[in-house]
Amino acid sequence: MANNNNPSSLRWTLLRQALLRRPPPQPTSAAEGQSQNTIKRISRKAMQGFNMIPYHLVNEDSEEEAIILNRRNGNYNSKDSTLCYTLPIHGNGAPNNKLFLTQRVNNVADISDLEFCNRHDIDNTGLVCQWPSEDVLAYFCLSHADLFRSKRVIELGSGYGLAGLVIAAVTDATEVIISDGNPQVVNYIEHNIDANSKAFGATKVKSMMLHWNQDEISNISYSFDLIIASDCTFFKECHKGLAQVVKNLLKKVGPCEAIFFSPKRGDSLDKFLEEIKENGLQFSITEKYDAEIWNRHQRFMNGDDHDAWPSYEKDHSYPLLVRITP
């Protein structure tokens, strides 16, 4: 008999329920009842990662944070939570900078999310959680602020927008566009841009809904110095469109590059890079790009931080640095 508690099987059952738009059948056995209960619990991935940027759940104990909460509560959603990220900004006596990100509460998902994604032919990965590579990308941008100074930057598949917001807050970039293909996610991005607008100085920041398979992006084609992305190479059916978007967004004159952080995940990253080559682009892969991230990776591999990330596997969890150039 098949294992009905297999996570992949349960996710397909969850999707089937969404597509049929009707309640699931009542269980006819104890095993089926256990399977249905498991379905309710697996809709979201728990938030685990390298945690390179300190954060905490916003509460009303702080006057500043209470203001943020009240602003959010004007359009309150019980499925949301707000996290405060503290960015260590050094030099000139500058205090630590704070960014507030509203996102879905861990372990909360809705059948309606999958129904919505099915109607619009999009995925819901941006709603699932803050993916580990996003945290690493944000830390990389924070550690290499000079790379973005006076540059026009776009983040692809941004999710809640942490990396793009970090660039806008600390690097003196000229403009930062934070994009995603899911309109629900873009709503969160817009909210997070508004909540942090005072941190951006002279940098222009805006959201954009951008599908990688859309034919017309002429209004922004060949106009970016830098593209950033994380955990965007998982779905092989998206590789061709993503590679073409990268080619079409990088400017044609002057130095430019795309910076991707992505685990290998079997042959998924390799297949994407084949598409990159097909589009006449070059790339390099770096495994050890930051001493602290590598140290944490080794601790996870050795089980030293087992409680923090018990399911850690290098192939699926450790993001490689991929730099793409014309």
User: What residue ranges define each of the domains in the chain, with the CATH number in brackets?
Assistant: 47-325 (3.40.50.150)
Query: How far, in Å, CA of 175 to CA of 178, rounded?
Result: 10
Report the C-alpha gap between 132 and 231 in whole angstroms: 8
- Of the two residues 178 and 116, the one the predictor is more confident about is 178
- Residues 212 and 159: their CA atoms lie apart, in Å, by 14
| Distance of alpha carbon 46 from alpha carbon 40, whole angstroms | 14
Token pair 């660039």: residue? 167
Mean pLDDT over each residue of the chain, to the nearest integer? 80
Q: What is the pLDDT of residue 97?
A: 86
Q: Of the candidates 259, 319, 317, 252, which has an alpha carbon nearest to the alpha carbon of residue 284? A: 259
Q: Which DSSP helix (H) or strand (E) runs through 206? A: strand 204-209
Which token pair is 186?
């873009």
pLDDT single digits (tens) 255-309: 999 999 999 999 999 999 999 999 999 999 999 999 999 999 999 998 876 567 8
DSSP 242-302: HHHHHHHHB-SSS--EEEEEE--TTTHHHHHHHHHHHTT-EEEEES---HHHHHHHHHHHH
Give pLDDT tens digits for 3-22: 444 444 444 454 444 444 44
Q: How far apart are CA 231 and CA 131, in angstroms?
A: 7
pLDDT at 317: 93
Q: Is 188 exposed, middle or buried (0-12, 13-18, 19+ CB in 10 A)?
A: buried
Angle at 119 between CA 118 and CA 120, to 5 degrees: 90
Q: How confident is the model at residue 41 (pLDDT cuts 50, 70, 90)?
A: very low
* % residues pLDDT > 90 (the chain): 55
Q: Report yes or no on whether pTM surpasses 0.85.
A: no
Chain length of the chain = 326
pLDDT score recorded for residue 306: 57
More confident residue, 143 or 37: 143
> 55 vs 82, 109, 140, 145, 304, CA distance in Å?
10, 22, 16, 20, 22
Q: What is the pLDDT of residues 51-101, one digit of tens each?
A: 999 998 887 555 565 556 555 555 545 578 899 999 987 544 444 589 999
Return d(Cα 140, Cα 17) in angstroms, integer.
40
Residue 219: the pLDDT is 86
